[in-house]
Amino acid sequence: MKHLCKTLVLLLLTVLVGLSGLTAYAHDVPDESKKGSITVDFEYDNKAVTGGRLVLYQIAKTKQTDGNYSFENLPEFASFGSDMADLTSAELAQRLADFADSHNILPIGTQDNKTGSVTFPELPHGLYLVVQVEAAPGYEAMQPFLVTVPMFENGRYVYDINAHGKTALQKTKAPPADTVPAGGLPQTGQLNWPIPVLALAGCVLVLIGLACRRKNDNDK
């Protein structure tokens, strides 16, 4: 009887462990029925910045193979051909933006920044590229960046992504002001000293002319 009880306890523990494993695995699988979103906030010195325009490209969709999830490039980006292992790479995002531009690939969304925050809603699971095609007045255009939907954070999947950390704004550098050297502009190719000399010579010529005329009148 005691042996039977031990056997039943071990069997129960085995079942409980198995169920807990299945539950954990289920939580690790994203819900394919849920749509996601990407929100981009524009701030400088903790103040909202308005203006400019963003476009969104979907680079890849998710696929499941034997319980493993991965990305599969969409046909538009199938010939991109570069290694996409590091999705945080700014260089990779820029190359994808250049590829989309050179191949005339249309974005799936375009948003004007009217309030300091832009949201692309109702996104299927996949890999996305955010590009600022028009900068806010007085600011540099932000660098392109990649975002996955959903994103796995703190042990769970997040479907509504805020890309605040990827959008540090930089003000445009003012062109150098034209400076005038001390003492005014240089007088290139201009001579002022002959003016009084020429005036004096003119007066002398007038006097000589008058003298000659008076002499001629006397001779008559």
What pLDDT does 66 receive?
75
Nearest to 101 by CA among 83, 80, 86: 80
| 175 lies in some domain | no
> Does position 121 have pLDDT exceeding 80, yes or no?
yes
| 182 lies in some domain | no
**Residue range 146-156: average pLDDT?**
93
> Does position 68 have pLDDT exceeding 80, yes or no?
no
Beta strands in 7-83 (DSSP E): 36-41, 43-44, 47-48, 53-65, 68-73
Residue 115: band (very low, low, confident or very high) from pLDDT cuts 50, 70, 90: very high
Total structural domains in the chain? 1
Q: Which CATH number covers residue 76?
A: 2.60.40.10
> Does position 162 have pLDDT exceeding 70, yes or no?
yes
| 96 lies in some domain | yes
| C-alpha separations of 185 from 179, 190, 195 in Å | 10, 12, 20
| 109 lies in some domain | yes
The residues, ordered by sequence, that sit 6+ positions from 130 with a Cβ below 8 Å of its Cβ are 38, 40, 54, 55, 56, 144, 145, 146, 147, 163, 166
| 192 lies in some domain | no
> Does position 27 have pLDDT exceeding 50, yes or no?
no
Return the minimum-mean-pLDDT range out of 53-57, 73-77, 81-85.
81-85
For 52, the domain range is: 31-166
| 100 lies in some domain | yes
| 205 lies in some domain | no
| 94 lies in some domain | yes
- Tens of pLDDT along 183-216? 555 555 554 555 665 566 566 565 666 665 665 5
